[in-house]
Amino acid sequence: VSAIDPHGLRLPGGTPRVVPFTLDGREMAGVEGEPIAAALHAQGVRVLGRSFKYRRPRGLHCVADACPNCSMRVNGLPGVATCSIPLSAGDRVERQKGAPSAEHDVLGGMDRLSAFTPVGFQYRRFRRSPRLFHQWERVLARLAGAGRLPDPDVARAVAAPARFEALHTDVAVIGAGAAGLSAALAAARAGARVLLLERRDHTGGWLRAGGMPAERMVLADLERDVAAEPRIERRTESTAAGWYAEDVLAVTSARGLVELRAGAVVLATGAHERPLAFADNDRPGVMLAGGVERLLRGHGVRPGHRVVVVTAEDYGHVVAADLLAHGVTVAAVADARGVGGDAAAAVAGALHDGGVELLADARVRAASGRATVRGVVLERDGRPGREIACDTIAVANGRRPARELLLQRAASGGLQLALPAGLHAAAADPARAVVDGWWVAGAAGGAATVEEAVRGGGAAGAAAAAR
Amino acid sequence: VPIPGVTDRPLRDRYDVVIVGGGIQGIALGYELAKLGVTGIAVLDAAWPGAGASGRNGEMIRSAFSSVEWCRLFDHCLTRWHGLSAELDFNTLFTPAGYAVLAADEQEAQSLRDQLPRHRELGLRSEWLDAAGARAMIPAAAPELVQGALWQDHGGFAHHDAVLWGYARAAARAGVEIHADAAVEAIAVSAGRVEGVTVRGRRIATPLVVNAAGAFAREVAAMAGVALPTQRLLLEILVTESLQPFLRPAVASLALMGYCHQTSRGEFVGGTEWKAEHPSDEIGVTLEGLRDMASKWVRLFPQLAGVRVVRHWSGLVDQTPDLAPVLGPAPGVEGFVLDCGWIYGFMGAPAAELLARSIVDGRLDPIIEPFAVDRLYEGRLIEEGALAVPTEATT
């Protein structure tokens, strides 16, 4: 393994099996079952593709299938989120854009020409000549379009079996993190048949690669109890992709499409990490802190050699300490706040001993570097200030509840997309339904702690079972 | 997000013309009226301009139909589409990549070929592509579904938001007030004449009200005591992730009852009609609709299998029994004009010029005269057979 894993990190569990795969035809090797993007990252591949319009380089960012950065062509299929697809022997991985390659794109300078193609330029250019416009847009289409169509044999294989299943359950719990597990357990114990859906290949949510030891023990207890409960059916790698007007949930997986009708729904979809706005925050090497944690703890891959953590919460300090513990150099923690909280204080000693510079009231102005991050530029008095060299910037800027499904359900019928009026009451009391037949628990409902998520999940699950 | 041309001024107490509905039709009509020198025009939208079907359609543009009435109306529009960006001083992203109506069998081919003599007669540009020609034009399509095509090389598609913005900017520049969040609650009619409208509980005087309320035209007509024999229907469409160009022209398939194109951004956009009648008062998307679209588009373009769908939306139309629009004055109520019943209201936007001229002249333009509402009351329906939508004849 050391030959293909220069970081030398190991995960608990069985002996990793090293398998061959190719990137743009080049022979590579990775650990079977780890995400394709993690395998690439471990080998120092930082540029996974190019952006849509300006062809700026794109690198691993969220490690949660929540952004388009790691989209690649895998085994002849375009648009695959490689941060969430496990590596198999012989996988053919290709970067979708760039000539001759995404790493060395001759059109990579497009963004330097952005003065000629500013936002909205298309509405002003060529308005007097549709024919000329048409020629111009045909050129643009070649530049802009992402992946090619799937290979014909791959498309045939995808389309061949009409895999379709109609299911009914008393309670559908969406998301198998701490809140979802707790909700499923409470609903089952109240006598309901429960279908527990999780889009990842494991339960446990973000706690699987994060959190405190005591929190992970709570999780382990929940997972054991759920596994022992006969009324709960768990389905991992099953995404509740949408709610539809027939009052059905579409659940997609490698097995096909499930049309799910549920007597009640508990939404426990967690939260999305929020990025932070600064110049060139899209450069490969700028990652979300949770993504750094998943890479490090989940897959044994170091995000880089020298990290600056940019944070507005204690979580950034915790991630910095984790990086140190895994042998990664942390140059600095730049905190937008003046004073941190208890969790930051708890790791302050470790960070100090690890030589980490702590910067308070720090504002980030920009990331430096072209193809990948070379440093972070701080702001001083509204101008660029000091630059700290690094190859990775980890951003911890809070979370936003993952409520997409709830919005679909609640906003159906109207033209305005608005959060349902019942959300506030439901966030305060998870036993209350947000809209008819739907409960929300955990971070999706605004829970801030694991304890709150477990308690809220239990209340929501019991209430959903009683419907 | 501010929409170009929308005013934040308060509503005035009086307008010369109130257009109910800030969709593409209402805004284009406001623009055309202003161009003819009409002043004091207000366009009122219940939500925001483009919130309805104008921002939720298939964006496709052609003029080759089977009936004289449709051919004349939409060929007038198609000619104007080519100069619209220049006229509005805003690129509507109209793409003249051609428009193909596909025939999947000899019967469909025959019905399409039968239209050609009429097109010649009317001076309308169209041609017949045999199976080899049509397959060469659309190489990604499954050959068995392409036995020939009715082809218009100057048809195509445009970006619906860009078109609406272009019209709205131009209308605002010409003095038209476009108001968002201004639902008309009542129309005052006295002694057979329109006197005003009520917006947010407030009475606004006007001698002329145009019903361009799209999906809600029937309710607006009822406010003036006019009954429209229309039905509100839901239409759905899907959009895939961006792909390298594989489809140039706009394509409609009679066999699939669907229409599609690939934007210059690389997205494949395609909608199908999966049941003859899908009455709905609400905007929502259905899993049945998504499955119908996905399976049909994979049939036509086999390599789309495995491509991700990134969006799926629906829109409402208020459909007449013959699927043709209702244009011109409403009988019995002086000062009440109809510009509704559209299901091709996007590609028909330039027809607003003809309606505007008719309003100013007080005499219906010959091209839009056949679309007067009387036909629906008297059972004189326009027979148009070249639509990629289910009609009573096909179900």
State the average pLDDT for chain A: 89
Q: In this predicted structure, what is the pLDDT of residue A5?
A: 47
Question: CA-based angle A15:A20:A26, to the nearest 5?
Answer: 145
Higher-pLDDT residue of A2 and B348 is B348
**Min Cα separation B227/chain A (Å):** 25
Which residue of chain A is at minimal alpha-carbon distance from B169? A123
Q: Say yes or no to pLDDT of A143 above 80.
A: no
Q: What average pLDDT score do residues A156-181 get?
A: 91
Which residue of chain B is at minimal alpha-carbon distance from A138? B264
Q: Give every CB contact of residue A399 below 8 A, 6+ residues apart in sequence.
A: A271, A272, A273, A274, A443
Q: In this predicted structure, what is the pLDDT of residue A405?
A: 93
Which residue of chain B is at minimal alpha-carbon distance from A147? B243
Q: Say yes or no to pLDDT of B395 above 50.
A: no
A-chain residues near B291 (CB < 8 A): 257
Q: The tokens of B243 are what? A: 């792909």
Q: Say yes or no to pLDDT of A197 above 80.
A: yes
Q: Is the ipTM of this complex over 0.95?
A: no
Q: In this predicted structure, what is the pLDDT of residue A6?
A: 42
Share of chain A above pLDDT 70, in %: 90
DSSP B321-368: TTS--EEEEPTTSBTEEEEE--SSTTTTGGGHHHHHHHHHHTS--TTT
A-chain residues near B215 (CB < 8 A): none
State the average pLDDT for chain B: 94
Q: Residue B41's beta-bridge partner residues? A: B17
**Min Cα separation B52/chain A (Å):** 8
Q: What average pLDDT score do residues A134-152 get?
A: 81
Share of chain B above pLDDT 90, in %: 89
Which residue of chain B is at minimal alpha-carbon distance from A410? B284
Contact by Cβ (8 Å): B17, B33: yes
> Whose CA is closest to B297, among B289, B305, B287, B286?
B305
Calculate Rg over the CA atoms of chain B: 20
Which residue of chain A is at minimal alpha-carbon distance from B299? A159
Do the chains contact at B140 and A149, CB–CB below 8 Å? yes
> Whose CA is closest to B207, among B183, B191, B218?
B191
Do the chains contact at A145 and B265, CB–CB below 8 Å? yes
- Within A312-360, where are the H helices? 314-325, 342-353
> pLDDT, tens digit, for every residue of B152-193?
999 999 999 999 999 999 999 999 999 999 999 999 999 999
Contact by Cβ (8 Å): B263, B269: yes
Predicted structure pTM score:
0.92
Do the chains contact at B290 and A244, CB–CB below 8 Å? yes
Q: Say yes or no to pLDDT of B9 above 70.
A: yes
Q: The tokens of B282 are what? A: 């609400």
Contact by Cβ (8 Å): A430, A439: yes
Residue B160 half-sphere exposure toward CB, CA atoms < 13 A = 22
Which residue of chain B is at minimal alpha-carbon distance from A128? B86
Contact by Cβ (8 Å): B236, B286: yes
B-chain residues near A148 (CB < 8 A): 243-244
CA distances from A67 to A80, A84, A175, A291, A396 (A): 12, 11, 18, 11, 16
- Give the separation between CA B205 and CA B193, rounded to whole angstroms: 12
Q: The tokens of A74 are what? A: 């895998």
- Give the separation between CA B236 and CA A224, rounded to whole angstroms: 44
Q: Which DSSP symbol is given to A274?
A: P
A49: Cα separation from own chain's centroid: 17
Calculate Rg over the CA atoms of chain A: 23
Place of tokens 């293909």: A4
Q: In this predicted structure, what is the pLDDT of residue B3?
A: 80
Do the chains contact at A141 and B245, CB–CB below 8 Å? yes
In this structure, the number of other CB atoms found within 10 A of the CB of residue B288 comes to 17
Scanning B253-312 for CB atoms below 8 A from A yields: 264-266, 282-288, 290-291, 298, 301-308, 312
**Min Cα separation B221/chain A (Å):** 21
Question: CA-based angle B239:A402:A215, to the nearest 5?
Answer: 145
Q: The tokens of A382 are what? A: 């509204």
Q: Say yes or no to pLDDT of A261 above 50.
A: yes
- Give the separation between CA A55 and CA A143, rounded to whole angstroms: 8
> pLDDT, tens digit, for every residue of B232-286?
988 999 999 999 999 999 999 999 999 999 998 899 999 998 766 677 777 888 9
Do the chains contact at B85 and A79, CB–CB below 8 Å? no
Q: Say yes or no to pLDDT of A9 above 60.
A: no
CA distances from B35 to A23, B4, B39, B337, B352 (A): 59, 18, 9, 18, 11
- Least confident among A96-100, A226-230, A279-283: A96-100
- Give the separation between CA B341 and CA B333, rounded to whole angstroms: 18
Q: In this predicted structure, what is the pLDDT of residue B120?
A: 97
Q: In this predicted structure, what is the pLDDT of residue A7?
A: 46
Scanning B150-209 for CB atoms below 8 A from A yields: 162, 165-166
Q: Which residue of A133, A137, A158 is in closest CB contact with B305? A: A158
Q: What average pLDDT score do residues A166-175 get?
A: 97
In this structure, the number of other CB atoms found within 10 A of the CB of residue B152 comes to 25
> pLDDT, tens digit, for every residue of A184-194?
999 999 999 99
**Min Cα separation A25/chain B (Å):** 20
Contact by Cβ (8 Å): B81, B94: yes
Residues belonging to chain A: 467
